[in-house]
Structure 1
Amino acid sequence: MTAYFIYRQMAPFGSSSLLTVDLGQQYIDFFAYMRRALLHDPSSIFYSFANGLGGEMLGTWAYYLLSPLNWILLLCPGASLTTGVFFLTVIKYGLAGLAFAWVLLKTTQQSGLKAITFATAYALMGWSVANQLNIMWLDAAYLLPLVFYGLYVLMHTGKWRTYVIWLAISLIVNYYMAYMICLFMILTFIYLAVDRYTNFRGFLAQAGRFAWTSITAGLLSAVVLLPTWWSLTQSKAQYTVTTFKWKFEFFPPKMLAKFFLGAFNFDQMPDGTANLFIGAIALLGALFYFGDRKIALRTRITAGIITAFLALSLCLQPLDLLWHAGQFPVWYPYRFSFIVSFWLIWLAAQTLTDDFEPGWLSIALVTIIVVAGAAYVALNLKSFKFLQMNQVLLGMFFVVMALILTTLPIKHHWIYPFLFFVIGVTEISANAFTSLNNISYVSQGEYGNYTNELQRLVNKVQKKDTSAYRIGKTFMRTKGDAFQTGFNGGGVFSSVLPKAVPTFYGNTGSPDGDGFVAYTNGTLVTDSLLNMKYYFQQKELSGALSGSSMLPAMSNKADLADYTKIGADHWATTYKNPYALPLGYAASPQILSLKNKTADPAQYQANWLAALTGNSADSKLYAAQNFDQVTFANINQQTKITGAVLQKKNLLKPGSITLTMKPTTNDPYYLTFGSTVNPDNATFVLNGKTLNQYKTYRNTILVSVADHAKGKTIKLTITLKKGSLWLENFTLYSLNTNVFKSAVAQLKSQPWRLTKHSSRYFSGQMTTTKAGEVLNTSIPYSQGWHATVNGKAAKTYKTIDMFTAVKLPKGKSTVTLTYWPPLLNLGLLISGLTLIVLTGGWWLSHRRH
């Protein structure tokens, strides 16, 4: 794999990188955060304001970052992080092969080149190649054989330490994949118990040992599992499927196509069948296992039942949900198929020993099965867009070679293990190279240049201003840019994102999804209330460099005209927001009882501000406006624009609508776009330039179109990409600047003056002039935040289902907010006591012996 990556010029050996899909859009940002947290900002280990608007981090650590191999990344600062990813990937491939080979040496008769062949088949199985970009899952590939070996030792000798230690490590390193390993250990226990069955009493003793050792491993890892479980209750667990149908997700024989080499491409990532490639030798060996008479019949029957269960899990909806903890995967389906591959290769290693001599009946049956499977795939090749006939023929060539090799009586000749190795490793390597050639990657320059420029911009601001604030920007490489370069931002892409966060973004007019939020559509109001004190905007380059900015524009922000320009370089301009509120300030108690009663983000923002000031007039902050002129080209005339359905007159010709206005004030103007008014359905040109906008949004968003434009003509042209377009929630609003400034001035007059602050600690003084006022913060609410007022514990309150507030007495108060992860103390106690009991028991036993 190292040779292949060098050939593909992956950093540090060329201009490309291993970054692709989620690795380039999500995980690389978490790796940058991990480095910064461990080396420069330990307070952000538990909580980070780069996590959207702020969020707990133990769930992120548990899912993405607890692999001990990640410490390699500490040696790779800045743009060289891609080099660390290179070494991390090849080391995980290597460890998977090493662990499997070691298990084979301990549990089977395999050794030498044959063991290496099986180990390579496992390390480079189709699952590993397809999920190479999901780098945090690759730890499961080397941990599974070690946990399996631990259970094997437990069942054969009664010694428990190997099993408990490796299972606990698996649960700590990645609880998600470890959950799948735990399910497989139940199947493995059944298989080994039947294989070693002597009497029912002995079986019960084995079952008891298996139960208490598994529970012990869970108790040892409670320090991670309990806080993570709490984190999941706020995020991923809220999407758990509670109803399902007993149905096949596809025609089961379709999965046979994935046994051919190169059966993978980009389209298989979001929605495909399981990645099952293990090579012809391992596949034939697994089939021959069931006819191998040197293995007890009851053992083979049990193995057959387990294999059938695993096969059904790859296509039957309830079993698929079981393996994925009750949730349909978003992209990367059948994530547990590494377990199926492990099982099949291990069965093959049990059978293809030096004394293996298959009977003619076994050879005939295996040949018929393989030929029938290949014929089905070849005859239905049009259904498998990831597969071509030359791949089917090449696959059959390796099957024929493997069949000849495994059935001829030459197993004691020196040439046999050599041919075994050459045929097996050649096919496995060819699959890896062919599959990965189907994927495109982010160039080192695209990642490094962007990261370095954003880091320069952030460093300049942070050097001058050390207070608590957030930074917005009109460009984006990933939604985790704040993690990458170490600032308090507003976007994040995470599988453990609390459900309340995307709900809030959807309410306020910014893009959101179940696992992401993007603060690309901030208004003067949200920028102020969310403490967005600084803004970066990309420059529009002209001449030969036109359109070549390395800072990809993601929003149109005309209202930056209200902000103060404080700096610029070749690529970007930095602005300071004069209306940015502090992290906390005194607000009306009305904010504690505000409930959302509108789907209009403009009205939501106005209601939010009015509840903070206690002034009902502030709820009229936005006013709907009419366009001065609307013209239609090849589209049926409409008398009302909002909610209209535009339809082309002639489907073969372009259809567009042009809306024109001339503002009568210098107030900011915003348009609302419903979810149907998106770049997939239409193109948007504002004043002759493409309207920059993040593409994915499921709720109504607010788009800044004009500011300080009194008397200027503003023209928006919408060109349909399809036959019709529903202008859902399409409305023009103006913001009353005077009302807004007055409200901001009121809230600024009683700030929370911080004397100390870190990622998980804030302390400062503030003065309230009215009884009942509250300290309102833009810190997302969590049970982990603990408040004290004048040294006494105080209750925290949730405002607008999102932020933290504290009730205050009249007068001067010292308020402190401290974050500590829920259930972490209980987890530490349980893990600590379990470790003490185990260590003490071992010491007493050792001393007695």
Structure 2
Amino acid sequence: MKKSLKQIKYLIAAFVIPVLVVMIAFGFRGIAPLGNHNLLVSDLATQYLPFFEFLRTQLVNHTFSTYSFMLSLGDNAIPVYTYYLMSPLNLLAIFMNAENVPLLMEAIIVIKIGLIGLAMAWFLQVKYHRQDIVQVIAAVAYGLCGFVAMYFYDFMWLEALIVLPLLTLGLERLFYQGKWGGYVVALTGMIFLNYYMGYMMCLYSVIYFVYLVFLNRKPGVKFFQYLKTRKTMTIKYMTSSVLAALLACFMLIPTIVGMLSTGKSTIKLASFLPIPRFLPSAFASLGVGVTNFVGRLNHEPSMFIGSFFAIGLFSFWFSKQVKRQEKRASFWLVGAIFLGMLIATTDTIWHMFQIPAGFPFREVYMLSFVAIMFGYEAYLKNALQDNQVVLKAGLTLAALISIGYGSVVIERLAAKRYHFETPQYIVSYWYLILALVFVILITVSLWLVNHFGKKVWWLVLILVAAEMGTNMFLALGGTHEYGDQTKFNQAFKQSQKLIKATTEKRTSFGREKVNNQLYSDSFNITYNQYNDSLLYNFTGVNSYTSSLNANTHDALAKLGLYSRNERRISSNGSMPITEQLLGIDKFITIDKNGQLTTETNELNTGLGYAVSSQIKTLKYDSEAIFQNLNQLVQKETNSKENYVVENKINHVNVHQNQGYCYEVTMTPKISGIQYMDLSTTSPNQELHVQVNGKKLKTPYHQLGAEVIELGNFKKGEQLTVSFTSNSRILEMEPHFAGFADQKFNQYLKEKVPYRLQVDNPEKLKLQGADFTGKVTTTKERDLVLISIPFDKGWSVAENGQKVKTMKVANGLTGVKLKPGTHQLEFHYEVPGMKLGLILSGLGVIGIIAQVVYFRRKQH
């Protein structure tokens, strides 16, 4: 009984102490509920909160749709679920009011940190068959390591730190006892929880398996010779790895197929060059407080595990108490992960063959885990009882940290001299002193343990908790971007009420363009409203997700809608031609004071409309947005009418002043709204635009990567546009054009009888995978252009007979029909789902077969 209580006591401490430390760090930063700030910054604000609300909406309404029209123009929802939302803790969202979801996300982060510590302590207890306070110290170090401090904003990855110790235990049980079930469960579970980290875990399992071989083979026995002597174990490892992957295929295959349809599927060969990804400055991260929130997107590897286990690792290598073979095996395990980060070739492979766009070195938590494991082994092997070894290890750690800081000076001077961008090396040079102080305190405390006995371990625990907590506190610093929870709560509830009143109970399908300044103003960051459709349950255009369909991006970006990269698309830059293409019929503005204004386009073309089959020949030029817009309408009508006409450029003045300043005088060739587009010359910069000497007012933040409305001018009326640009523009004509709005409005009236009328359009918000609609076609209008991104998962049928779908307009869906009125049935089947289910079924059969085979072999 006492033994059980002792074991539980340490496990409870392993969960509770990291939780208390992180709560104290949050409290000092004023983060709710210990303050009024929230963590709605970075991806937590722009992705995770909307995705949580999306999940919550599905749970509350008892629905699950594999396709969602709230993901931009519509998209496969499976990659969103599998990449962002698979944690069981996310189900807590069903018990929360929508405005309190930010607090739930913070609670989940804290709970996961506690579970990371618990998993580490459990691993050490089971692996080494003992319970002691050093396991609690390991839990604190692992639960609050550098990866957690810098990456918790992407808290979907934190599951990997929980599963890693369990997977390692499973590997060891398989290797030493032949029991493979735990390994299969852990690996399958990780792939299921987050396939991205699951992929990394597969690579880790190979590295750790090789480590176990190096650790256990006798001198003179070669690697493959040893595997032959352990043939049964080797077969179990290989088959179990395959079976784990097969079991997860029911969601893995559809996810892979979905991700291959994104713009991120392109492989960049330059990423595989065998060049270093970081320099000696990375060793500074062994000390406390090197990086903070500001450098979260671009920094050196977050190797921080605290001074105690760093000293422990070096003591393991320095001590004579540790066998040479154990040291060599540890060199392989630590070195394989470290060199995997260092060399661009292997680091790219670690990250699924794509260099990360922010939050680099995502595999670094594995280095932290194995370093802590070897540090604990140093304690078990009495390496820490040798004061000389501890002193040598402490001096080594201090030297590496100092070398790191010294390298920062050199690298910054070189960067300044040769004008290249650098990551965030360190926050402050003063933190070198703080880091060295902790190294000294830990070193002294280990001497005290050796002199006064086990009671001093409590002092070590307090010092480690203080060091890890200090690092977490400093990592949270450097910014005033944390949100105001009270302000957010009020803005969210008011916005929800206003948007719901204007978007619910639709009688025809349409998309909304919402500019919610009230909600945006509740953040202390530039908030771009990318995923607000998921927050407020409406069909829009904006989206920011790693799973954004490339067809959505390509179809819209080349028509002048704002796109910062292949993961983002915005309705900013829309004009009447794109608005009719996408069926945008409501324009909703909520100002900072909560005042609502709405405009409705009664000529809305809905989800699709019949056009000329000439649309099949439409090809966009990425360098000519206005030409693309004009040709779109021409191909729809099979005419040569010009709706977008380039202006006559009379005169251009340009001078350089931290970029280029232009003053362009022009004359419109047609009366109507005049537009500017600089997406190919000055993308993603904040322009300063004046029209006839007056500052141009825009309802959104970005200017430069989208079509910009300049105002309404008559044909022949001269106007002057002044603006800044990062680049030299040699040809002005393609960047300014007038729009024949009256002529286009007449065209819209002619299209009304030929639009696709969706049955029960309100249902598409929650159940977008199946719907029906009616459309009329003629001989001249024999192709229905549907504003759904082309996706092989869609099938269209009329009276049970399938109708062939085709890719038109650079990424949208088209269906060619005979003249007449057609009742169409739309059904979405997730690409790869059938194959995934078949493979998972084979995995189940394989598990049964493996159980039967090895049981019979034992008998």
Q: Does TM-score exceed 0.5, indicating one fold?
A: yes
Which residue pairs with 1:630 in the alignment? none
Aligned 8 A contact 2:394 2:440 in 1: no
Q: CA deviation at 1:381?
A: 5.4
**Is 1:432 paired with 2:472?**
yes
**In structure 1, what is the equivalent of residue 454 of structure 2?**
414
1:101 aligns with 2:110: no
Give yes or no for the alignment of 1:782 onto 2:791: yes
Query: Whole-Å Cα distance in 2 between the matches of residues 610 and 432 of structure 1?
Result: 59
Q: Partner amino acid for 1:262? A: G
Equivalent residue letter for 1:90: V
Residue 419 of structure 2: aligned partner: none
Deviations along 1:224-266, one digit per CA (max 9) or x if unpaired, are 1100110121115522223446444356321111111111124
Tell me the CA shift for residue 182 of structure 1.
Answer: 1.4
1:683 equivalent in structure 2? 688
Question: Which residue type is aligned with residue 351 of structure 1?
Answer: A
Deviation at residue 612 of structure 1 after TM alignment? 1.8
- Give the corresponding residue for 1:732: 736
Q: CA deviation at 1:417?
A: 1.9
In the alignment, the residues of structure 2 paired with residue 817 and residue 721 of structure 1 have an alpha-carbon distance, to the nearest angstrom, of 46
2:72 counterpart letter in structure 1: G
Whichever residue aligns with residue 280 of structure 2, its letter is P
The answer (yes or no) to whether the contact 1:126–1:277 under 8 Å persists in 2 is yes
Paired AA for residue 72 in structure 1: L
Distance 2:201 2:209 in 1: 12
Bigger helix share: 2
- 2:651 counterpart residue number: 640
The CA distance in 2 between the partners of 1:653 and 1:59, in whole Å, is 41
Distance 2:717 2:456 in 1: 82
**Structure 2 length as normaliser, TM-score?**
0.86
Q: Which moved more, 1:244-253 or 1:178-187?
A: 244-253
1:524 maps to 2:576? yes
1:499, 1:446 → 2: CA distance? 36
Q: Is the 8 A contact 1:288 1:358 kept in 2?
A: no
AA of the residue aligned to 1:157:
Q
For residues 617-673 of structure 1, the C-alpha deviation after alignment (integer angstroms, 9 at most, x for no partner) is 2xx11122347xxxxxxxxxxx534xx7x115xx699977475879985x3222223
Equivalent in the alignment of 1:770: 779
Count of residues in Structure 1 that have an aligned counterpart in Structure 2: 799
**C-alpha contact 1:678 1:695 (8 A) present in aligned 2:** no
Q: What is the CA–CA distance in structure 1 between the aligned matches of 2:365 and 2:66, rounded to whole Å? A: 32
Question: Which residue number in structure 2 is paired with residue 473 of structure 1?
Answer: 514
After superposition, the Cα gap between the structure-2 partners of 1:112 and 1:672, relative to the gap in structure 1 and judged at 3 Å, is: same
Q: Which moved more, 1:833-842 or 1:736-745?
A: 833-842
Preserved CA contact (<8 Å) 1:11 1:444: yes
1:416-465 residue CA offsets vs partner (Å, 9 max, x unmatched): 32122122111111111121123431222453344334322321123342
Q: Using the alignment, how far apart are the partners of 1:210 and 1:484 within structure 2?
A: 44
| Equivalent in the alignment of 2:435 | 395
Q: 1:537 aligns with which of 589, 614, 635?
A: 589
Q: Secondary structure at the match of 1:537?
A: strand
Q: 1:157 and 1:471 mapped to 2: Cα distance? A: 60
Counterpart in 2 of 1:161?
181
Seen in structure 2, the aligned counterparts of structure 1 residues 228 and 721 have a Cα distance that, compared at 3 Å, is: closer
Structure 2 residue identity aligned to 1:3: I
Matched with 2:415 is none
Aligned counterparts of 1:108 and 1:220: Cα–Cα separation in 2: 30
Residues 1:625 and 2:665 are matched in the alignment: no
How far apart are the structure 2 equivalents of 1:781 and 1:712?
Answer: 42
Map 1:455-466 to 2 at 5 A. 455-466=496-507
- Alpha-carbon distance in 2 for matches of 1:654, 1:772: 47
Query: 2:384 & 2:578 partners in 1: Cα distance?
Result: 74
Q: For residues 494 and 667 of structure 2, what CA distance do their matches in structure 1 show?
A: 37
Going from structure 1 to structure 2, the CA distance change for 1:101 and 1:498 (only over 3 Å counts) comes to same
- The AA in structure 2 aligned to 1:786 is S
Deviation at 1:101, TM superposition (A): 0.7
Return closer, same or farther for 1:711/1:452 CA change in 2, 3 Å cut-off: farther
Match of 2:830 among 813, 821, 825: 821
SS of the aligned residue for 1:100 comes to helix
Given that 1:675 and 1:728 are in contact with CA atoms closer than 8 Å, whether structure 2 keeps it comes out as no
| Matching residue of 1:586 | 610
Moved more, 604-613 or 750-759: 750-759
What is the rounded CA distance, in whole Å, between the counterparts of 1:744 and 1:149 in structure 2? 66
Measured against aligned partners, the alpha-carbon deviations of 1:537-589 in whole angstroms (never above 9, x if no partner) come to: 344xxxxxxxxx26xxxxxxxxxxxxxxxxxxx52311101232021222211
C-alpha change, 1:41 and 1:251, in structure 2 (3 Å) is closer
> Paired residue for 2:42?
21
Q: 1:169 and 1:374 mapped to 2: Cα distance? A: 37
Residue 547 (structure 2) pairs with residue 496 (structure 1) = yes
Determine if the alignment matches structure 1 residue 345 to structure 2 residue 363. Answer: no
Distance 1:483 1:444, change over 3 A: same
Aligned to 1:600: 624
Match for 1:640: what amino acid? H
User: Within 5 A, what are the aligned runs for 1:261-276?
Assistant: 261-276=288-303
Measured after TM superposition, the shift of residue 805 of structure 1 is: 1.5
Code of the residue aligned with 2:581 in structure 1: it is: L
Shift of 1:352: 1.2
SS in 1 for 2:572: coil
Give the secondary-structure state (helix, strand or coil) at the position aligned to 1:314: helix
Structure 1 residue 682, shift from structure 2 partner: 4.3
Check whether the contact 2:581–2:787 (CA below 8 A) recurs between aligned residues: yes
- Counterpart of 2:16? none
Report what 1:750 is aligned to: 754
Structure 1 contact 529–580 (Cα < 8 Å) conserved? no
User: Which has the larger displacement, 229-238 or 124-133?
Assistant: 229-238
Check whether the contact 1:647–1:724 (CA below 8 A) recurs between aligned residues.
no
Structure 1: state its 5+ residue gaps: 540-548, 551-569, 628-638
Distance 2:271 2:552 in 1: 27
Give the drift of 1:319: 1.6
The one-letter amino acid paired with 1:118 is A
8 Å contact kept, 1:381–1:387: no
- Structure-1-length-normalised TM-score: 0.87
Kindly indicate whether residue 335 of structure 2 is the aligned counterpart of residue 308 of structure 1.
yes
With over 3 angstroms needed to count, the CA separation of the structure-2 counterparts of 1:845 and 1:722, relative to structure 1, is closer
How many Å separate the matches in 2 of 1:83 and 1:315? 37
Q: Which residue of 1 aligns with 2:637?
A: 613
**Which digits, 9 at most, give the CA deviation of each residue in 1:104-153, with x for residues without a partner?**
11113663321111111000001101011111111111111111111111
CA–CA separation in structure 1 for the residues paired with 2:158 and 2:464:
22
Shift of 1:795: 1.4
Tell me if 1:668 matches 2:667: no
C-alpha distance in 2, partners of 1:165/1:826?
A: 21
Could you tell me which residue of structure 2 aligns to residue 287 of structure 1? Answer: 314
Rounded Cα–Cα distance in structure 1 between residues aligned with 2:28 and 2:716: 56
Q: For 1:367 and 1:748, how far apart are their aligned partners in 2? A: 78
- Please list the CA deviations of residues 510-563 of structure 1 after superposition, one character each: whole Å capped at 9, or x if unmatched: 111121011111111111111001111344xxxxxxxxx26xxxxxxxxxxxxx
Distance 1:652 1:227 in 2: 48
2:560 is matched with which residue? 509
User: Match for residue 348 of structure 2?
Assistant: 321
| Greater alpha carbon shift after TM alignment, 438-447 vs 285-294 | 438-447
Change (3 A) 1:41 1:675: farther
CA deviation vs aligned residue, 1:39-84 (integer Å, no higher than 9, x gap):
22725x3111121111111111111111111112222232211111
Q: Work out the CA distance in 2 between the residues paired with 1:755 and 1:681.
A: 42
Deviation of 1:740 after TM superposition, in Å, equals 1.1
Q: State how far apart, in whole Å, the 2-side matches of 1:797 and 1:578 are.
A: 29
Residue range with higher mean Cα deviation, 476-485 or 227-236? 476-485
**Which amino acid in the other structure matches residue 569 of structure 2?**
V
1:394, CA displacement in angstroms? 2.0
Q: In the aligned structure 2, how far is the partner of 1:252 from the partner of 1:652?
A: 31
Select which of 154, 159, 163 maps to 1:134: 154
Cα contact 1:672–1:729 (8 A) shared by 2: no
Correspondence 1:705 to 2:723: no
Q: 1:27 is aligned with what amino acid?
A: Y
Residue identity opposite 1:76 in structure 2: M
Q: Structure 1 pair 829/674, CA: closer, same or farther in 2 (3 Å)?
A: closer
Q: Which of 71, 75, 78 is the equivalent residue of 1:51?
A: 71
